Chains A and B, each alone.
Chain A
Amino acid sequence: MSDFEPKVVAFVCNWCTYAGADLTGTSRIKYASNVKIIRFPCTGRIDFMLLLKAFANGADGIIVSGCHPNDCHYTSGNFHAKRRWIMFKELMDFMGIDMNRITFSWVSAAEGAKWADVVNATVTRIRELGPYVSYKEMVDKSVEEEVKNG
């Protein structure tokens, strides 16, 4: 698996983490290029289903990141998100979907260095875990099920 390059999708909020990631760049801090950033208005807008869609479409790891508690641009979006992630994590654990592949973090607009750390740590971890085969296999198998006679 030495040539395995993890595909990591980051779902981030516009006001803190996206700005933080921007700061990482302007501060010329290098970090793993495996991450594809998708910007949302707020962590409260990040539907849990999007994470599953990312896995289904080939992501090996996911980062979800937004403003620190009390810093939400919309006052409470991240608090709502937090409760949702707690439930989502428990459900995923119960169903055997690998939560080690998802990093949840709070990265503010000033934490350019933290963003680089979060990404690097995630990519390293995913590199060790290898590609997320079991979820993809399920998706592919589902396609085969249809082709088969019933």
Chain B
Amino acid sequence: METTRKLIRKQSVEKLYNALTSNRQVYAPVVAADKQIEYRYNPGFAEVTFGHIRSTLSVKNVVFPKVENLFFYTNARSESTITDIDMSRIPEVVLWGAHPCDNAAFDTLRSIFCWDIKDEFFSKRLEKLAVIGLSCHLSDEYCFCTSVGLSPDSKKGSDILLSLLKNGDYHADILTEKGNEIVKSAADLFETVSDEKEVITEVKQKFSHEQVTSKLSAAFEHPFWVENSLRCIGCGACAYVCPTCACFDIQDETRGKNGKRYRSWDSCGFGLFTLHTSGHNPREVQSQRWRQRIMHKFSYMPERNESLGCVGCGRCSSGCPVDMNIAEQLEALQNI
């Protein structure tokens, strides 16, 4: 679809938001009482933040919830039955105000969930998701989107991308048919573009991801991994806050005879992730798990899924309790 650019006034943004919340679920960022930036469904417009750099958790849970039921069952020996999930109940959601890095992550997730066999849970959720992105006018030292082929105003993944203008109004880039539908539903709020300047933050490029990828193919045995992961304590924080980490676990939970099978987030950083029943563990120590995380994102995925497994949001680094700074490590890796 041909993309068009319109203007939306500061005061019209609120009208658009209220129009959307009146008939669908809008998932928007707010500053919680404890200063964490979290996304909530249909918060009042006054609560919605436009000035956040990154939410504590990514927004991947709109397409890949932390717990997703796969089916329900009744276990009655020979009379056991399975009840499928009614996927038509997956709601239409508008993701509001998510930054370009988070929105680009949906493509990365698609390359994981839809290569070879298509995962219906994921694709249905993505199908029902409309994204109104917000270009970044703020950034911090953890941001590195420009190093992974994105930018503070990348359009990838958004249906409409809002960009703040100097006078407080917004440019709206209408990028897809879904975006167009939303614009059509509130056509009077969108005006002709002005020549007011956009406020876009600058994110310094820290490394070249192509170079990292090419270096990694020969770096498997490099002492770098042990040296730089000694301080890693092996929690799953980096994977759980990451917008593109998609590894999951499948578990059953039963009450009486009835139960459900669900999948939930998992992390390659956990020791038990690869542990065999026999006690053998292919990735026995933390350095191997850290290597797997980086290799997976920057070597295996580009080779296998033709997408980079990182969007440069910097959450893993800002959320890490021991300052495992991924951008810093990749910068070092491109020169080994």
- A: residues with CB less than 8 A from B are 57, 145-150
Most B-side CB within 10 Å, residue of A146, A147, A150: A150
Besides A146-B67, A146-B69, 14 other A-B contacts (C-beta < 8 A) = A146-B65, A146-B68, A146-B262, A148-B65, A149-B41, A149-B61, A149-B62, A149-B65, A149-B90, A149-B93, A150-B27, A150-B61, A150-B62, A150-B65
> A29 to nearest B CB, angstroms?
33
Instruction: Report the minimal beta-carbon distance from A36 to chain B, rounded to whole angstroms.
Output: 15
Is B51 part of the contact surface with A, judged by Cβ < 8 Å? no
Chain A residues with Cβ below 8 Å from B91 are 149
- Binary CB contact string for chain B from 62 to 106 against chain A (1 if under 8 A, 0 otherwise): 100111110000000000000000000011010000000000000
Which residue of chain B has the shortest Cβ distance to A58 in the bound complex?
Answer: B255
A interface majority secondary structure: loop
**Are B125 and A149 in contact, CB atoms less than 8 angstroms apart?**
yes
Q: How far is the CB of B103 from chain A (nearest CB, A)?
A: 16
Chain A residues within an 8 Å CB radius of B66:
150
Q: Which residue of A lies closest to B67 (CB)?
A: A146
The residues of B that contact A147 with a CB separation of less than 8 Å are: 69
B25 within 8 A of partner (CB): yes
Alpha-carbon separation in the docked complex, A108 to B90 (Å): 56
A148 contact set on B, CB distance < 8 A: 41, 65
A146 CB contacts on chain B under 8 angstroms: 65, 67-69, 262
**B242 CB, nearest partner CB in chain A, Å:** 15
Docked Cα-Cα span, A147 to B121, in Å, equals 12
> What are 8 of the A-B contact pairs (CB < 8 Å)?
A146-B69, A147-B69, A149-B27, A149-B61, A149-B62, A149-B90, A149-B91, A150-B27
Q: Does the CB pair A57–B255 fall under 8 Å?
A: yes
A149 to B125, CA, bound (A): 9
Nearest-Cβ distance from residue A135 to partner chain B, whole angstroms:
15
In the complex, A145 Cα to B68 Cα: how many Å?
10
CB distance from B53 to the nearest CB of A (A): 21
Q: How far is the CB of A55 from chain B (nearest CB, A)?
A: 14
Closest A residue to B256 by CB, please name it: A57
CB distance from A146 to the nearest CB of B (A): 4
Q: Which of A57, A145, A149 has the most CB of B within 10 A?
A: A149
Expressed in whole angstroms, the Cα–Cα distance for A150 and B69 within the complex equals: 11
The smallest C-beta distance from B234 to any residue of chain A, in angstroms, reads: 24
A148 to B61, CA, bound (A): 10
- State the CA gap A145–B91 with chains docked (Å): 14
- Closest B residue to A139 by CB, please name it: B255
With a CB–CB cut-off of 8 A, which chain B residues contact A149? Answer: 25, 27, 41, 61-62, 65, 90-91, 93, 125
The 9 residue pairs across chains A and B that have the minimum distance between CB atoms: A150-B61, A146-B67, A150-B65, A150-B62, A149-B93, A149-B91, A149-B62, A146-B69, A149-B65
Contact with A along B245-273 (1 / 0, CB 8 A): 00000000001000000100000000000
| CA A146 to CA B93, docked complex, whole Å | 16
Q: A145 contacts which chain B residues (CB < 8 A)?
A: 67
A70-B57 Cα distance, complex, nearest whole Å:
53
Least CB distance, B165 to chain A, in whole angstroms: 31
